[in-house]
Amino acid sequence: MKSPVIKRSIVIANHKTSVSLEDAFWTSLKDIANERGVTLSDMVSSIDSKRKHGNLSSAIRLFVLDYYRVQSGHQSLIENGRDPQPSTGGGGSEPQSARSPEQIEQ
C-alpha cells in the first residue's frame, strides 16, 4: 500500500531540507504561494522562521489549515495562540495566515 505522505525536497535560506506532506497539503501550499505571488521556498522559509515547536512538516500543515479556516470566516488558531506554535507576528488584528510573508516577517 502506497503511503499518502510524500517526502519532498525544498531549499530554504540556501539550505536543502525535506518535508513529508500529503498531496493535498503540498498542492494547497503551492496554491497559497501562487496567490500571494511568492515562491514556494519563500513561503516555507517564512513558515519555518515563525515556528516555535514541532517539525517543519507539522508547521506547514497548521499554516495551510489556518489559512483555509480564515478564508471560510473562522478565527485564526495561530493568531489566537491555541496552536502549539504561537504566533510571533506583528500583533495586529489581521490573522497571521492572511498576511503576506513580508508582513509576517515584520
Q: Are the beta carbons of 28 and 36 closer than 8 angstroms?
A: no
Structural domain boundaries in the chain: 5-104
CATH fold of 5-104? Ribbon-helix-helix fold (1.10.3990)
Task: Give this prediction's pTM.
Answer: 0.70
pLDDT tens figures, 31-86? 999 999 999 999 999 999 998 888 999 999 999 999 999 999 887 877 655 544 43
pLDDT tens figures, 4-42? 899 999 998 889 999 999 999 999 999 999 999 999 999
Residue 51 has phi, psi (to 5 degrees) of -75, 145
